Structure 1
Amino acid sequence: MSTPSDPTVRIEPAVASTDTDRDAVLVTENLTKRFGGLTAVDSVDFTVDEGELRCLIGPNGAGKSTLLELITGQLSPTAGRVYFDGIDLTDVPSHERIDAGLSVKFQSPHIYEALTVAQNLQIPLQRTDRDDIRSAAHETLEEVGLAGRADAPAGDLSHGQQQRLEIGMATTLEPTLMLLDEPVAGMSVEETASVADLIRSLNDDGMTFVVIEHDMDFVRKISDQVTVLNQGSIFRQGAIEEIEADEAVQRIYLGEDA
């Protein structure tokens, strides 16, 4: 299958080949990544529907971050395809995937500490055609609960505030799909609750999410549907209640005796 030169052009055969309907925002088909003799992601078929808030969990080394990097284009697959919003993105560069409506926030904050909080938000807005960048940045600051810190250096923010700022920076591009890699790692209970409320609010407004997370309390707060990855493959998928009650999941992930 050829790679589209323009990632905004919808490729109908790519959708048809996935055997999914048009509600699917993200589809991976037989997605595989090998590093020498190690198979980090093994023939993963993963589908996320429009408006969904899906959590991806699993033990360390399960392949979660590698799967994320394959979806975002930071890694090239050994085999398989990635479809996003009806487009085959398998061979499309990372920056073009962002332009197509896919955004990502990795575990460690990537902000400009010497710039103010407002200036950090204005940087991604320059990729858009909006002529009201300052007001758009202020709206986002209100949304992520940082309006009172607009003029503060971003480096002065707490860890949790920096995480919220980076989520805000990603949402300014109004992505179709937001990918979050352990967004509450290292946060206090209060900060975690604040980020959970933010993600839920953005999802209620229509944004689709895939969230990689270890904190099961956080997963319960934000997600109804959960995918469990183990040894590079999808182990279980279902409602959070089913996943937590599954004895095999308890053994491999939750560290509990069956």
Structure 2
Amino acid sequence: MSGTAQVQAQSRAVAAIDDPILVVRDVHKHFGGIKASNGVDLEVGRREIAGLIGPNGSGKSTLFSLVAGTVAPDRGQIRFDGHDIAGRKAYTIARLGLARTFQIPALFDNMTVTENLLAAAAEGQWDGARQRADETLALLHLEAVAGNRASDLSGGQQKLLEFGRVIMRRASLILLDEVTAGVHPNIRKIILEAIARLRKEGTSFFVIEHDMEMVRNVCDRIIVMDSGRVVTSGTFDDIVRNSEVMQTYLGRPQ
């Protein structure tokens, strides 16, 4: 896949979602001469699992950072659950009910698995935290390592623990950044089952993923980015039939 592939056509209009929890309109973010977000428009619905795909360098992780508040947009609108969050601090957005995982888990290495979970609930979400920690350990099959330090876990277990810390936040929208990348199939299965259960309970998901099998089987709708823009969105079948998407994703001669 070519991270420098240029989109020849203008981004197609994104179909409106009846009840969006996240709305992004004409969002721009430039880093010097690099247009990481170049007029992004998209929506994520309530209880939806929306996938975000595109070549490396297409702007996916930058978009997550803009939504989560770790990067401020140059211009544009971002609304989460009715709140204007463009440019707001990450901790403010998190308190509204948005949470994010990262490709490389950011854990408290010298704390135990249980302590990491409880730490995620320490600000404003403490009521019933110990019970939720036990439930999260069970959901993610981490009971056997509950007393282990985070630094002693395998890479896959660390991804489970980071996901568990997000679950402890009781977030209404969770951004997952390649949460199944490089993990054992058993851990992948645990993650996918947890996503399905949480969605059933009302959680919405926005997922960056390169695993097309996961995208096909889990995501309700797929949003395709290239060169800082949304190219199109639709079901998996819609996407694979789209010639522009196939050019974008497979690359084209320069």
Residue 82 (1) aligns with residue 78 (2): yes
1:226-245 alignment, distance < 5 Å:
226-245=222-241
Aligned equivalent of 2:167: 171
> In the alignment, is the contact (CA less than 8 A) between 2:98 and 2:174 conserved in 1?
yes
Alpha-carbon distance between aligned partners in 1 of 2:104 and 2:204, rounded to the nearest angstrom: 21
Count of residues in correspondence between the two structures: 239
Greater shift, 241-250 or 44-53, is seen at: 241-250
Q: Does 1:29 align with 2:14?
A: no
* Cα gap change, 1:104 to 1:37, in 2 (>3 Å): same
User: What is aligned with 1:115?
Assistant: 111
Decide whether the 8 Å contact of 2:113 with 2:149 is kept in 1: yes
Structure 2: stretches of 5+ with no match in the other structure: 1-15
RMSD between superposed Cα atoms in Å:
2.0
Q: In the alignment, what sits opposite 2:203? A: 207
User: Is 1:145 matched with 2:141?
Assistant: yes
1:49-88 aligned at under 5 Å gives the runs 49-88=45-84
Instruction: Provide, for residues 216-247 of structure 1, a one-character-per-residue CA deviation record: whole Å limited to 9, x for no partner.
Output: 11212211200000111111100011112323
Q: 2: CA distance between counterparts of 1:187 and 1:169?
A: 18
Q: Is the 8 A contact 2:71 2:87 kept in 1?
A: no
1:246 paired to 2:245: no
Q: TM-score, normalised by structure 1?
A: 0.87
- Following the alignment from structure 2 to structure 1, what is the Cα–Cα distance between the partners of residues 227 and 196? 29
Larger RCO (CA within 8 A; separation ≥ 6): 2
Distance 2:244 2:80 in 1: 31
The answer to whether the Cα contact below 8 Å between 2:73 and 2:87 also exists between their aligned partners in 1 is no
Name whichever of 20-29 and 217-226 sits farther off: 20-29
Distance 1:167 1:87 in 2: 25
Distance 1:50 1:154 in 2: 32
Indicate conservation of the 8 Å contact 2:180/2:191, yes or no. yes
Counterpart of 1:185? 181
Shift of 1:198: 1.9
Give the distance between the partners of 1:256 and 1:159, measured in 2 at CA: 35
State the 1:201 CA deviation.
Answer: 1.9
Provide the rounded CA distance (Å) in 2 between the counterparts of 1:200 and 1:65. Answer: 23
Using structure 2 for the length normalisation, give the TM-score.
0.88
User: Which segments of 5 or more consecutive residues in structure 1 lack a partner in the other structure?
Assistant: 1-19
Question: Is residue 56–residue 64 contact of structure 1 (8 Å, CA) maintained in 2?
Answer: yes
Task: Report % sequence identity.
Answer: 36
Query: Which amino acid is 1:203 matched to?
Result: R
Q: What whole-Å deviation, never above 9, does each CA across 1:42-68 have from its counterpart, x for those lacking one?
A: 111111111110000000110001111
Structure 1 residue aligned with 2:9: none
Task: Name the structure 1 match of 2:89.
Answer: 93
